[in-house]
Structure 1
Amino acid sequence: MEPIIKVTSITKNYGQQEVLKGIDLQIEAGDFTCIMGRSGCGKTTLLKILGLMHPPTEGDVFFKERLTSELFPDEISDIRRRKIGFVFQDFNLMESITVRENILLPAILDKQDTTEAEERMVQFFQVLRIEHLLDKLPHELSVGEKQRAAICRALMNEPEIILADEPTGNLDSNAGAEVINIFQRINRELGITIVMITHDSKVAQTAKDVIFLKDGQIYDRLINIVGSEAKIAEKMLEV
């Protein structure tokens, strides 16, 4: 089976600062992978490169065996819009439009029929328990409700992979546990690949494998790690 995303020997520099230092990584279809490491180790930079938001300084990025440096900008945009869903710590909801309109935004940008798109998403409205929130504005929602709406938006165009940057970082323990349960169901029941940055070993233990970054490099990768919170926490002490 071909990997969804593969990076080889990638580096990323911002001026004189070398953030990533030769990363080799591939994400297979159906993976649920967490990325962990201390602040400043390059986690978010790596996620942005995996999501085709930023190009590497050096090295190659492949999306389903297509070398992305050889693609036109509109082809990159099409992949980001149709194949990749993004979930962020601060939700990135537009405050001036309703939850329904926020969720439909990817379909609107893709020039889809919004009525058909909403009908397709009814099942997710129910799973995420946001039917009663659709006509509210984001400022009327709790932080947990905002994140559930953001996850629904990420699912709108039925992506093959979702990239999540600290999706529980602004949530209390109950809301965070609910969001992680949703990600597990998305991965297990829909077969959508998940790559998630987290600092929380409780969150990471729900993943199938965990990548640890240290000083811009992959320090270790633990496979089949579900439920091994203590082992993950011990590894974090090393990085």
Structure 2
Amino acid sequence: MEGEKMIKAEKLKKEFRVHGNVFKILEDIDIEINDGEFIAIMGPSGAGKSTLLNILSTIERPTSGSVKYDGKEVFNMKNKEISKFRKDNIGFIFQDYNLIDSMSIEDNIALPMVISGENYKKIEKEVDKYAGFFNLNPQLKKYPIELSGGQKQKVAAARALISDPKVIFADEPTGALDSKSSVELLNCFKKMNDELGKTIVMVTHDSFAASYAKKVLFIKDGKINMQLNSSGNRKEFFDSIMTVLSSTGGAVNEIV
């Protein structure tokens, strides 16, 4: 169930200066994300999707503008404070998994808790809990090279969840997966949102992936130019997303 406002971004701008030229990536973006929402951000290549995700997740500072979590401005913090805030509140899932090949699946999942200095019994309990959530128990003693892409992404999701973050940011999480693995992962995202109440913000170019969200924000030329809200019927939502993408010249992906 969606709750109170968690993230509020106002008048976000991001610019780069190269040899005296100014390149505008984001312009005056306002976003509000409530606790328990599942939001997809879509747009053509170069529209600013990943830059927006990086700013909202505190990885990257905006040129100007404000990002508040529960009313607190994060970019007023010092870098060390932001790093701690990020560790305590935010989970990440990337397209390329970012697993450590020399560590077992069990150790990859446990890594955030190990870094935080949690006791072994608690770590073992939480690893077992999230491995079970993603049906990864048979793979715990294996290494990333032994897993499929879909399994690796589930490991990455379990690792993102194990520290109990307030919000999960996912950047093209299905981009390297086949259609079957994508569906399995997206169903896991839906469970994360519906059953665990996790707030999810996902950047995707894939209309099928976006249809699993409850809200889609469309970004073009550094600005949010449209928003769609799901009625709860995923097929109808997918059709609406396809219509928007077709009318705006965006990428169109068929359900497979």
- For Structure 1 versus Structure 2, the TM-score category normalised by the shorter chain is over 0.9
SS at match of 2:163: coil
Structure 1 residue 141, shift from structure 2 partner = 0.9
Distance in 2 of aligned mates of 1:146 and 1:160:
22
Tell me if the contact between 2:106 and 2:127 (Cα under 8 Å) persists in the aligned partners: no
Moved more, 214-223 or 101-110: 101-110
TM alignment of 1:83-98, pairs within 5 A: 83-98=89-104
Distance in 2 of aligned mates of 1:146 and 1:123:
17
Structure 1 residue 225, shift from structure 2 partner = 4.9
One-letter code aligned to 2:65: G
One-letter code aligned to 1:211: L
SS at match of 1:196: strand
> Percent same amino acid among aligned pairs?
39
Distance in 1 of aligned mates of 2:9 and 2:45:
22
**1:195 and 2:195 are equivalent in the alignment:** no
RMSD across aligned C-alpha pairs, in angstroms? 1.3
One-letter code aligned to 1:231: S
Structure 1 residue 32, shift from structure 2 partner = 0.5
**1:176 and 2:185 are equivalent in the alignment:** no
Structure 1: 5+ residue runs without aligned partners?
none
**1:51 and 2:51 are equivalent in the alignment:** no
Q: Which of residues 4, 9, 12 is equivalent to 1:10?
A: 12
SS at match of 1:190: coil
Tell me if the contact between 1:2 and 1:65 (Cα under 8 Å) persists in the aligned partners: no
Structure 2: 5+ residue runs without aligned partners?
251-256
SS at match of 1:112: coil
Count of residues in Structure 1 that have an aligned counterpart in Structure 2: 239
Q: Which of residues 9, 19, 40 is equivalent to 1:34?
A: 40
One-letter code aligned to 2:244: K
Structure 1 residue 6, shift from structure 2 partner = 1.1
Tell me if the contact between 1:210 and 1:225 (Cα under 8 Å) persists in the aligned partners: no
Large movers: runs of 4+ above 2 Å: 72-75
Tell me if the contact between 2:99 and 2:144 (Cα under 8 Å) persists in the aligned partners: yes
Distance in 2 of aligned mates of 1:40 and 1:3:
29
Q: Who is 1:236 aligned against?
A: 245
Structure 1 residue 4, shift from structure 2 partner = 1.5
TM alignment of 1:154-173, pairs within 5 A: 154-173=160-179
Distance in 2 of aligned mates of 1:103 and 1:168:
19
Tell me if the contact between 2:110 and 2:127 (Cα under 8 Å) persists in the aligned partners: no
Q: Who is 1:146 aligned against?
A: 152
SS at match of 2:164: coil
Distance in 1 of aligned mates of 2:29 and 2:226:
12
Structure 1 residue 28, shift from structure 2 partner = 0.4
1:113-136 per-residue CA deviation (whole Å, 9 max, x = no partner) reads: 233122023222112111111111
Structure 1 residue 196, shift from structure 2 partner = 0.6
SS at match of 2:131: helix
Q: Who is 1:221 aligned against?
A: 227
Output the TM-score relative to the length of structure 1: 0.96
SS at match of 1:101: helix
SS at match of 1:45: helix
Output the TM-score relative to the length of structure 2: 0.90
Distance in 1 of aligned mates of 2:218 and 2:113:
35
TM alignment of 1:75-154, pairs within 5 A: 75-154=81-160
SS at match of 1:162: strand
Tell me if the contact between 1:107 and 1:114 (Cα under 8 Å) persists in the aligned partners: no
Distance in 2 of aligned mates of 1:50 and 1:111:
27
